[in-house]
Amino acid sequence: MTNKTTPPLVHIETFGCQMNESDSELVRSLLKQDGFAFTEDRERADVMLMNTCAIRENAHNKVYGHLGELQAVKKERPLVVGVLGCMAQSLKDELTKKVPLIDVLAGPDAYRQLPMLITNALQAQEQGFAKKSFALDLSEYETYEGVLPDREGGVNAWITVMRGCDNFCSFCVVPYTRGRERSRDPQSVLVEAQQAAALGYKQITLLGQNVNSYRSGDWDFAALISAVADTPGIERVRFTSPHPKDYPRSLIEAIAAHPKICKHIHLPLQSGSDRILDLMGREYTAADYSKLVDQIKGMIPDIVLTTDIICGFSTETEQDFESTCRLVEQTRFHSAFVFAYSERKNTIAARKFQDDIPEEVKGNRVKRLVELQREIGGARNREYVGQTLPVLVEREATRSPNRWMGKTDGNIAVIWDKALEPLQPGALTHRRITDSSVAALFAE
C-alpha cells in the first residue's frame, strides 16, 4: 500500500456485457482484500478504473469520452487512471500512444495483479513521477477460483462458469481479448451459488462465451445448471450465451424439466443468409438454426426466444438482408438486439474482408429490422394479456418510483402499481397481465 493512513479510494465504471459486470465484482473483491476502499463519488476517487468492452464501437467511444474528461481532472489533482478488460487487451498499443494519462492497463486474466499495479502507480505519483503499470498476458488456466465476487445487491447474482472462447467467429474479438476456453470446477460454482443464496439473492445467471462448451470431468453444462437450480433459496436460474452450432439436446431437456431453470433462451442468430453466416464462420445454416428452434419449441412450447443480429457485415447484399428478415418473421423472436457491423482490429474479418457496406446502408437496415422486430415483439407481448404470470420483483420502475418492475420466467419486464400489495425486491408474486407494449407487460 501507499504511505497514506486512509486507504486509497477507487471508483470503477463498467462498460459492455454481463461478463464485464461479473469481472468488476471480482476486481472489487480483489482490491478490497488488499485494503482498498470504493466510492461512488468520482470527485473523491484516488483511482479511476474503467472496465471496458471491445465488442461494439459505441462502447469504445464511451470509454474514450470518459478518458477525455479525466484528462482535465488529472491536471487539477493527483489521480491514477486504469483501463481494464477487453479494450486494454486488444488496443494496448493504441491506448498507450494516444492516451498518455493512463497509468494502469490490465487484461481480463490479470486482475489478481491489480493491487500491485495500482500501488506501484500511486507510490510513483507520490514521489512525483509517472510509472506505467501493465499486465496483459492471457492465461490458459485463470478462472479466478477462490475469489468470491463483491456484489452490490439486487436480486440477480452473476456467476461466470467458464472464460474465453474457441469459436473464432470472423467478426468477433473475444478469443483475442479473453483467450481460449477453460471451465471452472463445478463444485466451486455450486459453492458460489450457495453463498449467493445465503446473501439473499433469488436468481442466478450463469455466464460463458459459449456455455455449450462447458466441460469439467463428467460434468456438462446441462448437469451444472440443473445442480445450480437445486440450490436451496434460489428461485430462478438463467444463462447466457449458447451457440446455435452445437446446442445440446440435454440442455433443452434440462430447461424443460426443471421448474427453476427459466424458459428463456438467448440464441444469437447474427444473420439469416447462409453466405454471410459462412463468411462469419458461424458453422450453421439458416435451415440448421430453424431446425434447432423447432426442436426447442417442440420440447418447450412456452419458451421465450431472443437473439442478436448484425446488419451490414462485409459484402452483405439486399438479398442477404431480406433473408435475415424472413428468418426473423418465421422465428418470431420476443426481442432482438440489432447492431450495425463495426470492424474490430485483429479479427479474421478485419484481416480477410473489406468493411464495404456504407454506414448509411447499415443504419437503414438496422432501422428496418428494428421496426420489423417491434411489430413481432409487440404481437408476442399481446399474447400474455389476460394471463396470470409468476413475476420476480426486481426494483422500482425506472420512470416511476410508485411502480414495481419485475421479470417473468421468460425475462419479460412487468410493471404494476406499488399500492396494490406490499412487496420487496426478491419476492415471487403472481400478476394478471392487463396491457402490453413492445418493451413490457402491465399488470394488476
Where are the chain's structural domains? 9-135, 154-262, 298-384, 385-443
Q: Which fold has domain 154-262?
A: Transcription Regulator spoIIAA (3.30.750)
C-beta of residue 136 within 8 angstroms of C-beta of residue 104: no
CA–centroid distance for 442 within its chain: 26
DSSP E strand boundaries for 17-168: 37-38, 47-52, 80-85, 104-106, 133-135, 156-160, 162-163
Could you tell me whether strands 156-160 and 203-207 are parallel, antiparallel, or unpaired per DSSP bridges? parallel
For residue 364 the three cell numbers come to 437503414
> Is 53 marked as a binding-site residue?
yes
Peptide bond between residue 241 and the one before it cis (omega within 30 degrees of 0) = yes
Phi/psi at 64 (5° precision)? -65, -35
CA atoms within 13 A on the CB side of 88: 29
**Which residues make Cβ contacts (< 8 Å) with residue 76, sequence separation at least 6?**
none
pLDDT score for 311: 98
Q: What CATH number should be reported for the domain whose range is 298-384?
A: 3.30.750.200
We find that the CATH architecture of domain 385-443 is Beta Barrel (2.40)
> Is 86 marked as a binding-site residue?
yes
The pLDDT tens digits for 37-54 are: 999 999 999 999 999 887
For residue 279 the three cell numbers come to 463468411
> Is 17 marked as a binding-site residue?
yes
The pLDDT tens digits for 148-203 are: 999 988 999 999 999 999 999 999 999 999 999 999 999 999 999 999 999 999 99
127 vs 9: CA distance, rounded Å:
19
Locate all alpha helices (DSSP H) within 127-282, ordered by sequence: 174-178, 186-198, 221-229, 249-257, 274-280
For residue 180 the three cell numbers come to 481460449
C-beta of residue 54 within 8 angstroms of C-beta of residue 107: no
C-beta of residue 114 within 8 angstroms of C-beta of residue 33: no
What's the residue count for the chain?
444
* Shared fold status for 154-262 and 298-384: yes
C-beta of residue 271 within 8 angstroms of C-beta of residue 170: no
The pLDDT tens digits for 349-392 are: 999 999 999 999 999 999 999 999 999 999 999 999 999 999 99
Considering the chain, what percentage of its residues have pLDDT values greater than 70?
99
pLDDT score for 4: 54
The pLDDT tens digits for 388-436 are: 999 999 999 988 889 999 999 999 999 999 986 789 999 999 999 999 9
Could you tell me whether strands 440-443 and 413-417 are parallel, antiparallel, or unpaired per DSSP bridges? parallel
pTM of whole model > 0.85? yes
Q: What CATH number should be reported for the domain whose range is 9-135?
A: 3.40.50.12160
Locate all alpha helices (DSSP H) within 34-147, ordered by sequence: 57-76, 86-90, 92-98, 114-126
302 vs 135: CA distance, rounded Å:
46
Where is 26: in which H helix or E strand? helix 18-33
> Is 325 marked as a binding-site residue?
no
C-beta of residue 90 within 8 angstroms of C-beta of residue 57: no
pLDDT score for 127: 86
User: Which amino acid makes up residue 150?
Assistant: D
95 vs 428: CA distance, rounded Å:
46
Cα–Cα distances in angstroms (integers) from residue 339 to residues 268, 336, 420, in the given order: 12, 10, 39
